[in-house]
Structure 1
Amino acid sequence: MPLSERIRKLAEKFNVPDNRPAQGPSSPVPAAETTSTSSTKAAEPPVCTNSANDLAPPWSTINPLNVMGSNRAGANSYKINYELLSEALAQARPIPTNAWWQNLALENGDQPVVTAPYMIKCLHDSMVICMPTVLGESKFVASVWHDDWKVHLPGCHRQVVDYDELSVTVGYSGPTQATVPLVKGAAFATIIMESPLELKLSTVHAITNVDVSLGATLVRLNNDMSWLIVCENGELLQQSGTSELSSIRNVQGAVRLALVANQRAASAMLSAKEAVPMGGSVSINVENEDAAEFTINWKVRGSGDPLLCALPHHQRSLLDASWEDAVGGFWTYKGQMQVVRGCQWRWREYIEPLGFAGSTPLTSEHKEKLQELVSMDVQSLPQDTANLPPDPYFFGKALARAARIALIADEVGDGYSRDLALGRAIEWFTPWIDGTNPNPLVYDTEWRGIVSKAGLNDPYADFGQGRYNDHHFHYGYFIYAAAVIAKLNPQWIAEHQDSIDLLVRDYCNLNSSDSSFPLLRCFDMYEGSSWAAGLFPFADSRNQESTSEAINAYYGAYLYAQVTNRLDIARVIRGMLQLEARAARTYWHLDDLASDLYPDVYACDKAIVGILWSSKIDYATFFGANPEFIYGIQFLPYTPASSLLIKSRWIDKIWPRYLQAVADESQTESWREIIDLTYGVVDKNKTLERISNITNHDDGNSASNSYYWVATCSSLQ
């Protein structure tokens, strides 16, 4: 199917305007002029430049130790490895802990990073490039690594020397100097030789043909793949062994490699050979309540328009994109990528109404039932804080549960239950704010973040809290509760705002002037969703399990910004929240916004992804293989923001095929309820009947919250 037709079909399926001009496939791009010269071309000034672009004003720039006190500071036992990461860079600004390129800075730094479509390893003596092949099984879809090309840099040492929202730069030093710009979506893998070097490349495959007729080196391998290799100074490569290429003369400047389907694709790629993506920045403009406009400005070295690859969620939404049909597509585990030409990407996220209350008003009958339920639920909230969970994750869920009860009680006019639940939430929250709880939160001076004291020295304590695993999940519950307290008791929040701000700054810092925390610790602007794995290296790179808890994190931050009158911040987060929800529905929900991303062997008998990695999807969770866990972790907690994820047309489709059986066969009441609650968007009465006898709720849920969700969720989606 031509790309132009595919884009139109995607737009029709997603029920949004087709942003691509109606036109057929592009005409073949003429081959680049054939030249060969040993002279080194001087680097031209970039034609597509951008400066650092902060998304919103800072929440605060107060030094955390001025809020917490010096006794609540500590250096993480897991140290920044200055062999792998420039010390000057680490001193200049906080280092990310959940970035897509995190593997480069962890342990030996030899695990791959995924730029998409390529996977790349930056080793000390080489750069290794892989175009992964798919391995599809019933429980997972993986990207298979193979050393497609190794660029040899003997005797060199590499370090991460720079990064931005869309790229990371690796510098090589030693006998030669080189720079590797790893840019998300780059259609070429690039290494820039800063000093002359006789170029040597090797592959795990056998070379079957070398063609230089296009003025660049086109190599055919015995796995039936062809690669285009372009040297900025015009040097052509020759076969020097069964699986080796080399240059006759020294090479200086950019060396670029790309998988190509045929000579037409190679010619199209050559038309952008001088436009080298080096990074980029993202801005979010929300002028009204209906839409947020995202803009990516790509930073480019050289001249002309770069070629970058768009993921499926980009393809449905890019405005005025110049699609490069001649190149064709690239397979990734997230579906086919398509190539876009240009220095700027723009798209809109259409914003759904969202606030503290549910999507539809409560009826008088619903209010009466909820008054009964909240009066019972509030009695289950322990007064003794010693009975509360000691770790941030389960404590956060308990705190948010109490806040939900208070908020629901307020909406149904039960002032007594509201005040009791609110009082409990404040009593529980206070020790965590002032550091008098048994496992206090402290400021980590090594990686610059808020972690539990237990996590500073034990990498596995509190679900990897000290290694920055799941911080948006953990603190999202805290911040949601803080938003509710701010709504119901603004004076208390005003007195503790600096302390609470530290938690939202930890995972949702939007401004580089806040030098105490990295920008957007978890959110990935290119992927459209968050990463959760923290400072743990994985062969499959980054991952995220619970999309619904990510939604909860940004929902909490959005409400907290609104209720504390930081509306510029609130508007930006609202756009991010909508993007995170759309990415979740595209990549975690099978047959929701997309139906053809994953192989049939995986998609034939399920409707969910349990864990999405940078290069893999798993039908699994980190805590068990029960189907109710795998589905349920994508739904909890239930709040009004759940409406961004749980849509009636999707649930109506998958309930009879999968979800009802998952609920009916659940081994626990609490997980069965989590699954049952999805059906509220299809049939409220049937759902209320199914959950009426539940006595054991998830530790972040309650009877009143379940009933409230069903009563107020919308079926018009």
Structure 2
Amino acid sequence: MTYNRSRMPMPGGQQYGEPPAYQESLSNPPPVPPRLGLRNPPSLPPRVPIVRELDIATRNMSNVKIDGNVNFDDVFRPDPPPDIFKASNHELNLPRNVDNKEMPVETNKFYGNMMVGSQTNPVWTHPYSLWWAKDSPHMGIAVAHIQASQRVFGPGSPPQYFFNPIGIKSLVFSSTDYTTADDFSLGFASLTHMSAQVFLRKNNDQYIRFPLVQGMGLITAIYHNLVPKLCTAVGIKSFQKVTSGNEQIKYKLLLENNVVWLLYVIVPGGCNIEITMQDANTLVGSASLDQCTMQIVANDAKDIDIAAGCYPIHCELDCSTEGDIGKYQFRYLTEGKSVCGKTLMFAFPHHVSNFTDEMHSQPIVCQLDSTIKGVMNSYLTDSFEMKVSIPKSLGFSPFTTISGKGNGVRYSSDVLEAVKKAASSEVNLDVSTESNLDSMYFSGKILAKYAWILYCCQYIIKEKDLVDCLLPKLKSAISRFADNHQVLPLKYDKTWGGIISSGTSSQDFGNSFYNDHHFHYSYHVIAAAIITKVDHDAGDNAWLLQNRAWVEALIRDYANPSEKDRFFPVFRSFDWFNGHSFAKGLFESGDGKDQESSSEDVNASYALKLWGLATENQPLIDIADIQLGILRTSVNMYFLYSDDNTVMPSAFIRNKVSGILFENKIDHTTYFGNELQYIQMIHAIPITPASSFVRTPKFVEEEWREKLSPIVNDIKDGWQGIIMLNAALFDPRISFNYFNTPEVFLDNGQSLTWSLAYSGAFL
């Protein structure tokens, strides 16, 4: 079935033309909301990663030592969600054969395609993709690796998109017992935010287990009481046994596309097996064994041999901070044994750029192209350890990374007068009516807009009368949501574990199917954090006690850090391996998970920081700071393209931003239209104190010069206001001068008060 997305309201409440031709097919309901797949996939070009400085907020951290991990279990009490959220089952059931020990199941993670719809779309562990191939003659779990030379680019200069071909069955793990699509079923266990155990099962005694861990270097299949079969749709040009030991045999395959794959076969002690070529597309084992392990890798580097036999099954995340440095570490739990005692793991460019000295000292075993994030390096290791610069001084107050202006906010009397004039008008607007919408996203933007006005009234112009006017109005408006009396109330989904809209899957951008939760809820969290802070300093300090459980339920929905929380999955949105969030929820997609707005991803982590500050929750502050530090690196490699970007395809860099970033393609467009201002500025909204930490002055000035200044005067709606506030990230003067005039366009989530206060802070 094909679904088309309805038109999206644009800034200023205007409606713009039909969205681009995005669509997505689902083999079983639900109707798809706003995260749809391209009609024709786009393709990628080659690339080599280079480490570069991200101007002034980055420093060398390789020899800094940090002690003391963040305790993820100390962040929130794992209480049931508040009773205001009616508990119900989701209309989309969990797939068959899920054993997750009654814990919530992830909705936005890399293995999602195997759990929804047909269950046959690819999942990307990077640098590989895997999928359940049910189509004859090569049935099983298929594996592909796409080289940079295979990427496909769209038309235009710069090209609108690039993508990697999908469906190329380089190798397929199967069995001689697998003769029809109905012979085996898919099963799942140990579903975590960075790994999953997938089973291709004939029955309880005969099955193949596939540990899927992001970055795994050797694709591993453990056969139980089945005769192994390895197929390829590409064809085998040559096949040879290279070495044979007591328990491990190494084979080398050259496929018809001239790609070399190594195959390692590990058998239990005392057992024997031979792999022979049955025909030009098929290898077959000589026996059915229990615990026969087969591993493949799309490279023949000699050091891979000493990692063979060992494979990751799970990844533990550790985080810590010290001063303005944050550390995060992936610790891999492994099975099997290898000569080096470790396994082979691949790292993305943003990992490599933030490696510690110890990690940098490790030799690179081999390199493989990723789909859309440059070249991946592989290492013999059981952990990755990275350090990032974190925005320790970032809080509620305007913040900049412009050189020479980062020593604190200074307001002239003229700026303060302009802010006061704007605030005196805007506090009299009808917050309650304006925010009474059928969308958590748009209502959240309105509430956050007025919260920033409130912040300005209390802490910048310090006008008690204005605070006394706006604070009760904002409390009343947000109470509609805190009491769950909004147009589309939220409910607790017992099936997957989350707070979702009571609307249909096509309403509110697919919130009910877990699309965009970090976008939607972060605006409400920021509004709540500012209310909490102001109420503490200027009110009766009662609001936090009354509303804390509601706010933290929203946070736990998209950013719960604790594996002990039985009501929400761990880090639903933020993908610690990819270095950013994914917005797509329970919808299958031929190109995997995606995200359209890197800036609202930043806003989601910034919301955690502000709530942590408002409630004095240091572990939450630390998590937020580390996420922001990671985003500063990853966003500037994969979403925002400075002229010196060396990770993305050179031809594509001239787009300056990604547009929609999928796991398998990037398309310079949006889900709501193709206008250049939409595409560029969806990666800028909202402009907050956190914006400058990620959207560096260097990048913003380049984008202004190359993309925005030629069009800004012709835009006569709220997008002009967004562009001009974005300009404050590199030139506050031109931004302030724009807002300090009678004729100003504003986005419906943007106030004149905040625009003047932010742009005027660093003149």
TM more than 0.5: yes
The SS at the match of 1:228 is: strand
Identical pairs, percent: 23
Q: Which residue of 2 aligns with 1:190?
A: 220
Q: Which residue of 2 aligns with 1:28?
A: none
CA distance in 1, matches of 2:365, 2:409: 52
Are the equivalent residues in 1 in contact too, given 2:390–2:628 (CA < 8 A)?
A: no
Are the equivalent residues in 1 in contact too, given 2:560–2:568 (CA < 8 A)?
A: yes
Are the equivalent residues in 2 in contact too, given 1:285–1:293 (CA < 8 A)?
A: yes
Are the equivalent residues in 1 in contact too, given 2:106–2:192 (CA < 8 A)?
A: no
Q: Which residue of 1 aligns with 2:750?
A: 701
Q: Which residue of 1 aligns with 2:480?
A: 431
Q: Which residue of 2 aligns with 1:298?
A: 332
Q: Residue deviations 1:248-285, cap 9 Å, x none?
A: 3445422111111xx5x1x2211110221112110111
| Higher RCO, 1 vs 2 (CA within 8 Å, ≥6 residues apart) | 2
CA distance in 2, matches of 1:107, 1:507: 23
Are the equivalent residues in 1 in contact too, given 2:199–2:208 (CA < 8 A)?
A: yes
Q: Which residue of 2 aligns with 1:649?
A: 698
Are the equivalent residues in 1 in contact too, given 2:371–2:663 (CA < 8 A)?
A: no
1:131-142 residue pairs with structure 2 within 5 A?
131-132=145-146, 133-137=150-154, 138-142=159-163
Q: Offset of 1:337 from its aligned partner?
A: 0.5
Q: Offset of 1:601 from its aligned partner?
A: 3.4
Are the equivalent residues in 1 in contact too, given 2:130–2:144 (CA < 8 A)?
A: yes
Q: Which residue of 1 aligns with 2:208?
A: 178
Amino acid paired to 1:390: D
Are the equivalent residues in 2 in contact too, given 1:532–1:543 (CA < 8 A)?
A: yes
CA distance in 2, matches of 1:499, 1:406: 21
Q: Which residue of 2 aligns with 1:443?
A: 492
Q: Residue deviations 1:645-676, cap 9 Å, x none?
A: 2211222233222231243443x431122122
Q: Residue deviations 1:575-604, cap 9 Å, x none?
A: 122212322122101127x6122323322x
1:583-594 residue pairs with structure 2 within 5 A?
583-591=634-642
CA distance in 2, matches of 1:18, 1:170: 38
* Cα distance change, pair 547–331 in 1 and its aligned pair in 2 (3 A): closer
Amino acid paired to 2:92: Y
* Cα distance change, pair 174–614 in 1 and its aligned pair in 2 (3 A): same
Query: Is structure 2 residue 99 aligned with structure 1 residue 92?
Result: no
Q: Offset of 1:18 from its aligned partner?
A: 8.4
* Cα distance change, pair 16–244 in 1 and its aligned pair in 2 (3 A): farther
1:45-56 residue pairs with structure 2 within 5 A?
55-56=72-73
CA distance in 2, matches of 1:259, 1:587: 24
Amino acid paired to 2:344: L
2:88 corresponds, among 47, 61, 74, to 74
Matched length: 657
Query: Is structure 2 residue 394 aligned with structure 1 residue 354?
Result: yes
* Cα distance change, pair 270–198 in 1 and its aligned pair in 2 (3 A): same
CA distance in 2, matches of 1:241, 1:282: 44
The SS at the match of 2:709 is: helix
The SS at the match of 2:51 is: helix
Are the equivalent residues in 1 in contact too, given 2:61–2:325 (CA < 8 A)?
A: no
* Cα distance change, pair 582–11 in 1 and its aligned pair in 2 (3 A): closer
CA distance in 1, matches of 2:62, 2:346: 17
Q: What TM-score results when the alignment is normalised by the length of structure 1?
A: 0.87
User: Which structure 2 residue ranges, 5 or more long, are not aligned?
Assistant: 1-47, 64-68, 245-249, 400-407, 536-540
2:284 corresponds, among 246, 253, 261, to 246
Q: Which residue of 2 aligns with 1:274?
A: 309
Amino acid paired to 1:688: F
The SS at the match of 2:465 is: helix
CA distance in 1, matches of 2:532, 2:423: 20
2:511 corresponds, among 440, 451, 465, to 465
Are the equivalent residues in 1 in contact too, given 2:398–2:761 (CA < 8 A)?
A: yes
Q: Which residue of 1 aligns with 2:10?
A: none
1:545-564 residue pairs with structure 2 within 5 A?
545-564=596-615
Q: Which residue of 2 aligns with 1:25?
A: none
> Would you tell me which structure has more helix in proportion to its own residues?
1
1:537 corresponds, among 588, 591, 605, to 588
CA distance in 2, matches of 1:323, 1:13: 24
CA distance in 2, matches of 1:220, 1:713: 61
Q: Residue deviations 1:275-320, cap 9 Å, x none?
A: 211121101112x331111111111112311111110100101111
Are the equivalent residues in 1 in contact too, given 2:125–2:214 (CA < 8 A)?
A: yes
2:450 corresponds, among 402, 418, 441, to 402
Are the equivalent residues in 1 in contact too, given 2:70–2:619 (CA < 8 A)?
A: no
The SS at the match of 1:473 is: helix
1:317 corresponds, among 346, 354, 357, to 354
* Cα distance change, pair 326–384 in 1 and its aligned pair in 2 (3 A): closer
Query: Is structure 2 residue 140 aligned with structure 1 residue 126?
Result: yes
1:176-255 residue pairs with structure 2 within 5 A?
176-195=206-225, 197-215=226-244, 216-233=250-267, 235-250=273-288, 252-255=291-294
Amino acid paired to 1:254: T
User: Which structure 1 residue ranges, 5 or more long, are not aligned?
Assistant: 1-5, 21-51
Amino acid paired to 2:81: P
1:150 corresponds, among 149, 172, 189, to 172
Are the equivalent residues in 1 in contact too, given 2:263–2:296 (CA < 8 A)?
A: yes
Are the equivalent residues in 2 in contact too, given 1:169–1:181 (CA < 8 A)?
A: yes
Are the equivalent residues in 1 in contact too, given 2:81–2:492 (CA < 8 A)?
A: yes
Are the equivalent residues in 1 in contact too, given 2:105–2:191 (CA < 8 A)?
A: no
Q: Offset of 1:16 from its aligned partner?
A: 4.4
CA distance in 2, matches of 1:276, 1:437: 49
CA distance in 2, matches of 1:587, 1:285: 25
Query: Does 539-548 or 676-685 show the bigger shift?
Result: 676-685
The SS at the match of 2:683 is: coil
The SS at the match of 2:690 is: helix
1:390-539 residue pairs with structure 2 within 5 A?
390-411=438-459, 412-454=461-503, 458-489=504-535, 490-539=541-590
